[in-house]
Amino acid sequence: MIHAERLFKGDTIGVVAPASPPNLKKLEKAIPFMESMGLKVKVGNHVSKVNGYLAGTDAERLEDFHQMFHDPSIKAIFCAGGGYGTARITDSIDMELMKKNPKIFWGYSDITYLHTAIRQQTGLVTFHGPMLSSDIGQDDFDDRSKELFHQLFEPKTLRYDSRFSETETIVAGEAEGPLTGGNLSLIVSGIGTAYEIDVQDKILFIEDIDEAPYRVDSMLNQLKLSGKLEEAAGIVVGDFKNAEPTNGRPSLSLDEVLDFYFSGLDIPVVKGFKIGHCQPHFAVPLGAKATLSSDKGLQIEPGVR
């Protein structure tokens, strides 16, 4: 794996919008937080563009993305928000440019598609964490979420503890391997493509938002039938915000769905992690070596050098 260089006070970070249009007022509100860490902020040329449900055309979003990796003054790249659109530009990304200029890349949700593609084609460790307009710029952005940005300034082992949440074991055990995954719907959408997620002997992390239990059932069934659940070394179940039945119809609960797909596996599976569309949001380096234990919790090695 390739670890990007850590940040130092005085460094400049870039902001891109590779998916949907960000809330510009929330983005503006988030910038002082980044500056409070001693960072300078450069916003991509096309971040304010709107092309239907996309933040500009595919070419414009791709141009900002490439420019930030090409610019030697930019030390890290943060996504303004998610939504939809990263899969449309993934096939056109210059992966060689990223290999030659490894930098911190941070985001989540729809950014999952980029995380998977970048890591598997370049080896770069990327970060699943809160974004500027959709999280940092919100009034309820949690102090515990803010603390996790410190991992970018100093290589440090992360340990998930009860300050964030209590977790619950579905299958007991312990396993180690690189951490991979992210948003469940984006993971599933990549199956059958050149960017299909590789979970062999890895700790698979999943989360999602606004998906009813039957939808989670459908996506987990696809992971099962494609062999992904059996290949994983362990599974971390993050936050599934608003995973509630719709229209008042009879439904299984989310917990019943999770138990159905996971309880029979011969690998550790632990749920209840505050990682995803939630506050606090425990930011993690994807691609870094992790240890998942039903007794000791989740531990992840540094994501920067």
* 109 is known as an active-site residue: yes
Domain that holds residue 221: 158-300
User: Are 43 and 129 part of one and the same domain?
Assistant: yes
C-beta separation of 44 from 27 below 8 A: no
State pLDDT tens for residues 45-55. 999 999 999 99
- How far is residue 46's CA from residue 21's CA, in Å, rounded to a whole number? 10
* 277 is known as an active-site residue: yes
Q: By percentage, how much of the chain surpasses pLDDT 90?
A: 98
* 48 is known as an active-site residue: no
User: Are 99 and 196 part of one and the same domain?
Assistant: no
State pLDDT tens for residues 228-241. 999 999 999 999 99
Query: Out of 3, 20, 60, 109, which one is annotated catalytic?
Result: 109
CA distances from 83 to 50, 55, 87, 132, 187 (A): 13, 10, 11, 13, 15
Residue 282: CATH number of its domain: 3.50.30.60
pLDDT value at 249 more than 90: no
User: Are 238 and 269 part of one and the same domain?
Assistant: yes
pLDDT (average), residues 143-167: 96
pLDDT (average), residues 162-183: 97
- How far is residue 166's CA from residue 46's CA, in Å, rounded to a whole number? 41
Q: Among the three residues 86, 106, 141, which one is the final residue of a domain in this structure?
A: 141
State pLDDT tens for residues 196-225. 999 999 999 999 999 999 999 999 999 999
Question: What is the rounded average pLDDT for all residues in the chain?
Answer: 97
Query: Out of 207, 211, 281, 301, which one is annotated catalytic?
Result: 207
User: Are 114 and 39 part of one and the same domain?
Assistant: yes
pLDDT (0 to 100) of residue 248: 82
pLDDT (average), residues 57-76: 98
pLDDT (0 to 100) of residue 247: 81
User: Number of structural domains, the chain?
Assistant: 2
Query: Out of 3, 46, 115, 277, which one is annotated catalytic?
Result: 277
3-state secondary structure of 9: coil
pLDDT (0 to 100) of residue 35: 98
User: Are 111 and 65 part of one and the same domain?
Assistant: yes
User: Are 185 and 240 part of one and the same domain?
Assistant: yes
pLDDT value at 172 more than 90: yes
User: Are 192 and 255 part of one and the same domain?
Assistant: yes
